[in-house]
């Protein structure tokens, strides 16, 4: 194990470590981050009121809006001379957010990613192709840091230029691919078309940055002949590696010596018991440059504290199902794009996993349509078979969602492919 002592630390010891780190972090931030002090003062709290993780729930929440309001450096807890790197995320709406890392933060980050790479059997003999975008997005440099930390050979292709990616993969003998699941699928498709699939030497894929279903995992594994692992993270907390799947792929271990997760009810703000689904909240307890207390991620998932077969004691989070702000309300019904993906991927054979959801409002009523690419073989079939498949998908969707959607099978390759995070939803009501 990469950092065995930390990764398998008995929970009692781990919680004692978290308590100590939390108390230090709260003190530090109270002195250095004016917004945090203001929020503590509003609640009548001082750092002395926080005596361990049992007091975590007393602390004030922080929000993405805070990062926008204090853009660019207003929430940093170190002088800028100690900041080694910044990353930023633009999100889909609104102003950019900026985060900063000290040298130690970058080291810790590389450790998080290295823990995962080691867990899934990668080492200095591997060639790790990083096809996440490099730049202000944390994916590229985050994966890069972990790959270097385990001593592997990094192939820093960044995203895009798909045919070149594939040729590099073949020529350089890449054994691991890091990119978004939607780009992995696209690469798989392109490899098939170019007749390169059999020349690939990939054994593992490290995919994250967007929600993806188990069926999507199988689809990618089938296309690229590798084992696909999930990695989770967000710029505000660190980047990729906040949590990751181990060799057993039974949830993602949170690097709990650095980040404390909680699940809350987003409406009542109550902390929910283990196993219950709600909004994921993180507190960073080791970060120097840009620490956050009780950051509301908007991601929806649950936590599992049972010991994993791998021996790691760090809690596992399940695959985030989506975000509270991704949830569509269509004709009064809550719909997550991930529910649609699950239905579509179960209708194998006749369709491909490429789809787009289009929501609009006509005469004060929501319209809800899904375009799904049909497979080549259905494309060459008769119109009756196409209509039959559309009807089948429509029925399955109505069973799962409780409302009906217009389902339209569109021609193969007609939906734009993504080289990063896929844009699955076009909500014209917001335009
Ligand atoms: O996406 C960091 C990252 C890069 C993670 C590469 C994994 C791999 P942001 O751009 O700030 O950071 O977006 C963070 O993406 O709050 C989730 O909603 C979503 N997300 C990230 N990883 C996963 C995942 C990066 N494995 C936001 N499953 C998060 C589902 C994910 N959603």
| Pair 119, 93: CB distance under 8 Å | no
Cβ of 211 below 6 Å from ligand 1:
yes
**CA 89/CA 84 separation, integer angstroms:** 17
Cβ of 138 below 6 Å from ligand 1:
yes
Cβ of 89 below 6 Å from ligand 1:
yes
What is the SS3 assignment for 207?
Answer: strand
Q: Which of 232, 235, 279, 317 to mutate to test the pocket of ligand 1 (most atoms within 8 A of CB)?
A: 232
**CA 393/CA 344 separation, integer angstroms:** 7
Q: How far is the CA of 136 from the centre of ligand 1 (A)?
A: 14
- pTM for the whole structure: 0.95
**Whose C-alpha lies nearest to ligand 1, atom 16?**
234
Q: How far is the CA of 232 from the centre of ligand 1 (A)?
A: 5
pLDDT at 165: 97
**pLDDT-flagged residues of the chain (< 70):** 91-94, 431
pLDDT digits 0-9 by tens, 22-73: 999 999 999 999 999 999 999 999 999 999 999 999 999 999 999 999 999 9
**CA 307/CA 11 separation, integer angstroms:** 10
Q: What is the dihedral of CA 129, 133, 137, 141, to 10 degrees?
A: 30
Residue recorded with tokens 């490290």: 206
Cβ of 417 below 6 Å from ligand 1:
no
pLDDT at 94: 64
Q: Which of 138, 208, 338 to mutate to test the pocket of ligand 1 (most atoms within 8 A of CB)?
A: 208
**CA 273/CA 251 separation, integer angstroms:** 17
Q: Quickly list H helices, 43-119.
A: 64-69, 103-119
Q: How far is the CA of 388 from the centre of ligand 1 (A)?
A: 36
Instruction: For the chain, give the mean pLDDT.
Output: 95
**CA 127/CA 174 separation, integer angstroms:** 5
Cβ of 262 below 6 Å from ligand 1:
no
- Report the 10 Å Cβ neighbour count for 5: 9
Sign of CA dihedral 3, 132, 253, 49: positive
- Which helix or strand (DSSP H or E) is residue 242 part of? strand 239-245
**Whose C-alpha lies nearest to ligand 1, atom 4?**
139
Q: How far is the CA of 242 from the centre of ligand 1 (A)?
A: 10
User: Terminal CA-to-CA distance of the chain, rounded, Å?
Assistant: 49
Atom of ligand 1 nearest to the CA of 298: 16
Give me the helix-helix angle, 34-42 and 11-32, nearest 10°.
100
**CA 162/CA 139 separation, integer angstroms:** 17
pLDDT digits 0-9 by tens, 244-292: 999 999 999 999 999 999 999 999 999 999 999 999 999 999 999 999 9
Cβ of 317 below 6 Å from ligand 1:
no
| Pair 83, 110: CB distance under 8 Å | no
| Pair 398, 336: CB distance under 8 Å | no
Cβ of 208 below 6 Å from ligand 1:
yes
Per DSSP bridges, beta strands 351-362 and 425-427 are parallel
Q: How far is the CA of 213 from the centre of ligand 1 (A)?
A: 14
Cβ of 321 below 6 Å from ligand 1:
no
**CA 270/CA 65 separation, integer angstroms:** 21
Write the burial class of residue 221 (CB in 10 Å: 0-12 exposed, 13-18 middle, 19+ buried): middle
Q: Which residues pair with 409 in a beta bridge?
A: 372
Q: Which of 178, 234, 266, 342 to mutate to test the pocket of ligand 1 (most atoms within 8 A of CB)?
A: 234
| Pair 23, 46: CB distance under 8 Å | no
Percent of the chain with pLDDT over 90: 90
Per DSSP bridges, beta strands 316-317 and 351-362 are unpaired
Residue recorded with tokens 């917004």: 35
């Amino acid at each position: 194990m990469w950092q065995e002592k930390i990764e398998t630390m008995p929970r009692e010891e781990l919680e004692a470590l978290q308590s100590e780190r939390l108390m230090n972090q709260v003190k530090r931030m109270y002195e250095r981050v004016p917004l945090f002090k203001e929020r503590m003062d509003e609640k009548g709290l001082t750092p002395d009121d926080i005596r361990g993780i049992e007091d975590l729930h007393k602390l004030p929440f922080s929000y993405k809006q805070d990062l926008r309001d204090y853009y660019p450096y207003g929430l940093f807890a170190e002088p800028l001379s100690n900041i080694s790197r910044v990353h930023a995320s633009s999100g889909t709406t609104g102003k950019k957010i900026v985060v900063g890392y000290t040298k130690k933060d970058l080291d810790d980050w590389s450790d998080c990613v290295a823990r995962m790479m080691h867990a899934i059997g990668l080492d200095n003999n591997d060639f790790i192709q990083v096809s996440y975008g490099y730049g202000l997005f944390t994916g590229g440099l985050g994966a890069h840091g972990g790959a270097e930390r385990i001593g592997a050979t990094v192939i820093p292709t960044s995203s895009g230029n798909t045919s070149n990616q594939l040729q590099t993969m073949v020529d350089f003998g890449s054994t691991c691919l890091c990119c978004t699941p939607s780009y992995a699928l696209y690469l798989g498709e392109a490899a098939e078309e170019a007749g390169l699939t059999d020349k690939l030497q990939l054994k593992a894929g490290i995919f994250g940055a967007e929600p993806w279903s188990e069926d999507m995992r199988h689809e990618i594994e089938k296309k690229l002949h590798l084992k696909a692992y999930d990695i989770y993270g967000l710029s505000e907390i660190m980047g990729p590696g906040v949590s990751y799947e181990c060799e057993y792929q039974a949830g993602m271990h949170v690097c709990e010596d650095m980040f404390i997760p909680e699940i809350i009810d987003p409406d009542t703000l109550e902390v929910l018991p283990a196993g219950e689904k709600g909004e994921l909240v993180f507190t960073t307890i080791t970060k120097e440059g840009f620490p956050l207390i009780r950051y509301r991620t908007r991601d929806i998932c649950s936590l599992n504290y049972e010991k994993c077969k791998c021996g790691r004691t760090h809690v596992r989070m399940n695959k985030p199902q989506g975000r509270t702000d991704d949830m569509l309300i269509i004709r009064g019904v809550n719909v997550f794009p991930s529910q649609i993906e699950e239905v579509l991927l179960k209708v194998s054979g006749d369709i491909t996993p490429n789809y787009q959801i289009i929501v609009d409002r006509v005469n004060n009523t929501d319209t809800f349509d899904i375009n799904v690419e049909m497979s080549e073989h259905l494309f060459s079939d008769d119109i009756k078979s196409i209509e039959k498949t559309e009807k089948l998908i429509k029925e399955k969707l109505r069973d799962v969602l409780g409302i009906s959607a217009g389902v339209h099978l569109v021609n193969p390759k007609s939906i734009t492919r993504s080289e990063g995070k896929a844009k699955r939803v076009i909500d014209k009501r917001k335009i």
